[in-house]
Amino acid sequence: MPKTKYLFTSLLFLLYFFNASGQNLHLTCIGSSENETKSIDSLGYKKSFEDYSSLNTEITKLKKKLIQIGYIETEQLNLIKQTDSSYQANFSIKNKYESITIIHNDLVSLPILKLTGFLNKKNNLIIPIEHIETTLQFINTQIANQGNPFSFLIITDIEKIDHKNLKGSLSVSKLNSRTIDKLVLKGYEKFPKSFIKRYLKIKAGQIFNLDKIKQKTKSLNDLPFANQIRDPEVLFSQDSTILYMYIEKAKSNTFDGFLGFGTNETTNKIEFDGYLDLNLTNNLNYGESLKLMYKSEENEQQTFDLRLKAPYIFNTPVGIDVNLNIFKRDSSFVTVTQAAKLNYQINSKHIISGGISTVQSTDLLDTPSTLITDYDSNQYFVNYTYTDRQNFNLLFPINFLFDISTGFGNRTYEDLEEKQSNFYLNTFKIFNLNNKNSIYGRVSSNYLISDTYLENELPRFGGINSIRGFEENSLIANLYAVLNTEYRYKLNNTIYVHSVIDAAYFENQNANQKEKLFGFGFGFGLLTKAGLFRFNYTSGKTENQRFKLSDSKIHLSLTTTF
């Protein structure tokens, strides 16, 4: 019997223990009056807790909320334990204030105070009580961005204006401004230093402003040869500020080529044409690029083009661009063009440049011709380029391009000298309708202005990079304008199909010719491990001509990045 009594007592103790340990604590908060209690209840504080520590934390949060909404004189009078599981917190919240007026004392500049939106005509801040904390944080951030990252603000000399409003003054900690003492590159240590100073416009000695630095480093993703891995970080010590930038080197060399074939209208035989385009970028870690192109066309035209770009020469904001172009048309003539220009990159998207070009053309015909003859020309030109990239899109990394040039000079042949001017435009834009659908539009134009024209100086157009459905560079004109449009549909991130609708207008004063051209077709692009493979099937016609399938052109190209 005593043993049974012992077991019964132990069972009752265990039941009591589990009941007590599983019991929640309850909290009631009241004010000094019925109205104060209603104000407290309107905040919706938590009332049930698992332990005393979380209950006490809720009381602290409630007091902070009351102060933030205007009850800045709030006091917690006491905390009374009413039963084993219930507590009552008594508050005196007193009067609710609506705003505080901060008298301007020149410690914080007016441009910063204006950004808060609370500055009145007397240059004083009138801040609603509930916005005090966020407003002070905003002002503090602006001060930190001016080179004082460890500054802090407090409101001093607080006085009552009336029962609803207060006034006070700002006090700012007095710390020395911070400047960038050292830059450290992580990931791609050989990143060209000139791009840090000239492209990003970040250098040692600058006032430290982390927000502006983050904005600048985002433009790293607009470079074809580098990407930002993560946001920059800063290490502060007592007497130095070290900025860490995280960059990786990206594949930027490209090899582009295409093969085109179609039926010759005269011989009814299939003829082939194509080109090779090699672009080497930043292989020497200076941000330089070397472009080599060789094109052989079905109408016995050959083009050799070599271009070298060197940015920020001698660590100056100016870059240099030199170009050699040799064009040969069957046995008619050969034209050699040399050009050099200086570039100034305003920022990651805008470039202006100016330079000079010289042209020497040699007549290869055995019999004299009035339209093809030897000539020399010199021309000065200016250029502006705007590029907006969308690097997240592997198929279409450039969203908007605007490239415009104009030049003027002289052309000399047979001891006759004439003034000439030239206008060139190339622009395209991708309108992204959604993740899968987009519309591509491009306009290219060239206008040579002269009193007389030689056939071997006229601009040439036509083909896959101009109006599609026509032979490469088979059309010549002193004035032409081409509109290319495509409706593109992405099947996934590596495959897209598109329509081809092109239109062109050109004038050839020598042939007294003014004509409209049209090109229609379809194509697709496929991003493979080897690169971007493109297929175009197009048919071209003049304004008064019917479409002929026999005149259709098929163009294949492959762009490889390595």
CATH of the domain at 52: 3.10.20
Residues 167 and 77 in one domain: no
3-state secondary structure of 328: strand
At 148 the pLDDT is 66
Q: What is the total count of domains within the chain?
A: 4
Cα 546 from Cα 560, distance rounded (Å)? 37
Predicted pLDDT of residue 411: 95
Single-letter amino acid code for the residue at 306 = L
CATH number at residue 441: 2.40.160.50
pLDDT at 258: 66
Residue with tokens 């220009």: 341
* Cβ pair 540, 468 in contact under 8 A: yes
Task: Look at the chain and count its residues.
Answer: 562
**Structure confidence at residue 26 (pLDDT):** 92
**Is 90 exceeded by the pLDDT of residue 548?**
no
Residues 524 and 425 in one domain: yes
Domain boundary among 127, 147, 172: 172
Say if residue 299 is in the same domain as residue 208: no
Residue 271 reports pLDDT greater than 70: no
pLDDT tens sequence across 400-455? 999 999 999 999 998 889 999 999 999 999 999 998 999 999 999 999 999 999 99
Residue burial 441-473, b: 16+ Cβ < 10 Å; e: rest: ebebbbbbebeebbbbbbbbbbbbbbbbbbbbb
Q: Are residues 293 and 377 in the same domain?
A: yes
DSSP state of 454: -
Among residues 227, 249, 271, which one ends one of the domains? 249
With respect to residue 521, please indicate whether it lies within any of the assigned structural domains. Answer: yes
AA letter at 328: K
What digits encode the pLDDT tens for the residues 104-143? 777 787 888 888 888 888 888 888 988 888 888 888 777 7
- Average pLDDT rounded to a whole number, residues 367-379: 87
Contact (Cβ atoms closer than 8 angstroms) between residue 516 and residue 541: no
Is 283 found in the same domain as 168?
no
Given a cut of 50, is residue 380 above it in pLDDT? Answer: yes
The 3-state DSSP composition of the chain as helix, strand, coil percent (nearest 5) reads 15, 50, 35
Q: At what angle do helices 210-217 and 132-145 cross, to 10 degrees?
A: 70
Please state whether beta strands 99-103 and 125-128 pair in parallel, antiparallel, or not at all (unpaired).
Answer: antiparallel
Q: What percentage of residues in the chain have a pLDDT greater than 70?
A: 90
Question: Comparing C-alpha atoms, which of 21, 549, 527, 558 is closest to residue 263?
Answer: 549
Strands 226-236 and 241-249: antiparallel
pLDDT of residue 150: 63
Return d(Cα 170, Cα 287) in angstroms, integer. 49
Are residues 373 and 279 part of one domain?
yes
Q: What pLDDT score does 400 carry?
A: 96
Asked if the model's pLDDT at residue 8 lies above 50, the reply is no
pLDDT digits (tens, 9 = 90+) for 23-34: 589 999 999 998
For residues 53 and 114, membership in a common domain is answered with no
Q: Are residues 35 and 76 in the same domain?
A: yes
Q: Is the pLDDT of residue 147 over 90?
A: no
Residues 261 and 243 in one domain: no
- Closest CA relative to residue 372, chosen from 382, 360, 362: 362
Q: Which has the minimum average pLDDT: 143-147, 190-194, 365-369, 420-424?
A: 143-147
Domain boundary among 92, 126, 141: 92
| 353, 470: one domain | yes
pTM of full prediction above 0.75: no
On whether residue 1 sits in a domain, the answer given is no
Asked whether residue 422 is assigned to any structural domain, the reply reads yes
Regarding whether 351 and 233 lie in a shared domain, the answer is no
Regarding predicted confidence, which is higher, 393 or 83?
A: 83
Per the structure, the complete domain to which residue 314 belongs is given by 254-561
What Å distances lie between residue 496 and 506, 533, 559, 561, CA to CA? 31, 11, 15, 19
Q: Dihedral sign, CA of 460, 461, 464, 466? A: positive
Reply yes or no on whether the pLDDT at 323 is more than 50.
Answer: yes
Q: Are residues 258 and 132 in the same domain?
A: no
Cα–Cα dist 152/174, whole Å = 9
